[in-house]
Structure 1
C-alpha cells in the first residue's frame, strides 16, 4: 500500500510505473474505492503505467471535513500527478471521477494526453435530489440507500446473475464513511461544468452503459455534444459502472480510442 500526505490529509494510491510511454490515471465514482478498476487496469498495464487512488473520504484515504467542492478533489489528483512526476497521462474518470477529470482538463491540459469520461456529465442531478440523499444518509446511514444504488450501478440481469459480486459492492458502498460520502454529494450538487466542458480541446471519449439510470444515454450524449470532436460510445447491457459489469467492452473501447491519432 502506498500513501501520500497532500496538504495535511492522507491519500491512498497505487502507482505501477513500468517505464511505459503512456500513463493511465483512474478516478473512481461516488461510494467506491479504486478496486472498481482492477480488471480494466490489469488489461491496460501492458500498454501503460497505472495510477489508482482512493478519493478523499473513500477507501483508505482520509476524510477531509472542510472539503469545498470539486476543486478540492481535483487538487488531490493534480498534486499526486506532480509528486509522481507524471509528464503526460490519459485520465479515465467514472461519474464524479469524470467530473473531476473535466476540471483537470481545464487546469492542466498540457499534462493530459486524452480523456475517457465514463457514465458522467457536466452536471449530474439537481439540488433537491442531492439534498434528499444527503438527509437520508445523515439520518439513517448508507445502508438506507444501498439497495437503490445497486439498482443504478448494475443492470437487472447483472444483479440476478452476479448476486455475490453485487453484495460485495454493496458492502463497499456501505463501508464508505458517511461524511466522506456526503462531502462528495455536496461537491456534485454544487458543480455545473457546462461552460468548462464546452471549452475542452483534449481528445475525449464519452462512454455510457445502456442501462445506466444515474447518467442516462441521452445525458452522456449531451456531454459528448458539448465537447468538440469527442467520440461517443454505448456499452450495451451495462449499468453505471461498466468497469465492473463489462470491463472487457470498456477496455476494447479505450484501446480503440488511444490508438487513434489525436487531431
Structure 2
C-alpha cells in the first residue's frame, strides 16, 4: 500500500509498470476509489507507467475538513506528480477527475503532455443542485442516493445484469464528509474561461447513456478547447471504464499514439 503526504493530506496511490515508461495518471470519479480502473487497465498496452490515486476524502486517502475546491484537488495531483518525480504525464480524469485535470492543466501545465477528460465538463450542473445533494446525504446518509446514482452512472442493461451492485456499495461506503466536500468543489467550479485557454493535446470522452454528464455538455467543453477531440462510447453511461472498458481504452490508445506517448 503506497501513500504520501501531499499538501497536508495523506494520499493513497498505486504506481505500477516500468519506472522509465510513459506515464499515465488516473483520477477517479465522485463516489469511487481508484479500483474503478481495475478492469480497464488490462486493455492498455504494456510498457506504460500507470499511477492511480484516491483524491482526498475518498477511498483510503485522508478525509480532511472541507469544503474542498477543484484548485485544491488539482494541487494535490500536482503534488503527487512532483513527489513521484514524474514528467510528461498524460492525465486521465473521470467525472470530477476531469475537472481536476482541467485545473491541473491550467495551473500546472508544464507537468503534462496531454489530458483526457472523460465524462466531465468545464462546468457540471448548477450550485443549488450540489447543495441539495449535500443536504440530502447529511440528513439521510449516502445510502439514500445510492439507487438513483446508479441510474445516472450505468445503462439499464448493466443495472439489470446486477453488475452495478458492487459500485453502489462502493459509493455508499465512501467517507460522507469527503464526498460532501467534493460536491462543494464541483458546485463552485466553473472552468470555462481557463479551459478555453488550454494549449496541450486534449481528448474528451462521453457515454451516450450518461445521466450525469450527457454528451451535449461534454461536447460544449470540447468546443471550448482549441484542437480538442471528442468521442462517444455507445451503450455506456457515466463510467465507461467499468461498463465498456475495451472501447474506452481504444480511444485512449489512439490518443496516446497520436501524441507519441506509446
- Structure 1 runs of 4+ with >4 Å offset: none
Partner Cα distance (1:45, 1:225) in 2: 29
TM-score (norm 2): 0.96
Closer, same or farther: CA 7–205 of 1 in aligned 2, 3 Å: closer
Closer, same or farther: CA 31–114 of 1 in aligned 2, 3 Å: same
Partner Cα distance (1:119, 1:145) in 2: 20
**Counterpart residue number, 1:131:** 131
State yes or no: 1:223 paired with 2:218. no
Q: How does 1:243-254 map to 2 (within 5 A)?
A: 243-254=241-252
Aligned residue pairs total 260
State yes or no: 1:12 paired with 2:12. yes
State yes or no: 1:185 paired with 2:146. no
Write the deviation string for residues 86-140 of structure 1: whole angstroms up to 9, x where unpaired.
Answer: 0111100001000000001012212211111100000000011111101100000
Q: Which of 11-20 and 127-136 deviates more?
A: 11-20
Q: Is the Cα–Cα contact under 8 Å of residues 124 and 213 in structure 2 kept in the other structure?
A: yes
**Counterpart residue number, 2:24:** 24
Shift of residue 250 of structure 1?
A: 0.6
Q: How does 1:1-263 map to 2 (within 5 A)?
A: 1-44=1-44, 46-161=46-161, 163=162, 165-261=163-259
Closer, same or farther: CA 112–167 of 1 in aligned 2, 3 Å: same
Q: Is the Cα–Cα contact under 8 Å of residues 67 and 180 in structure 2 kept in the other structure?
A: no
Partner Cα distance (1:131, 1:107) in 2: 26
Partner Cα distance (1:61, 1:74) in 2: 15
Shift of residue 158 of structure 1?
A: 1.1
Gaps of 5+ in 2: none
What is the alpha-carbon root mean square deviation over aligned residues? Answer: 1.2
Partner Cα distance (2:256, 2:32) in 1: 26
Gaps of 5+ in 1: none
Shift of residue 38 of structure 1?
A: 1.1
Shift of residue 195 of structure 1?
A: 0.3
Shift of residue 20 of structure 1?
A: 4.1
Shift of residue 192 of structure 1?
A: 0.3
Partner Cα distance (1:67, 1:14) in 2: 26
Shift of residue 66 of structure 1?
A: 3.9
TM-score (norm 1): 0.96
Q: Is the Cα–Cα contact under 8 Å of residues 67 and 184 in structure 2 kept in the other structure?
A: no
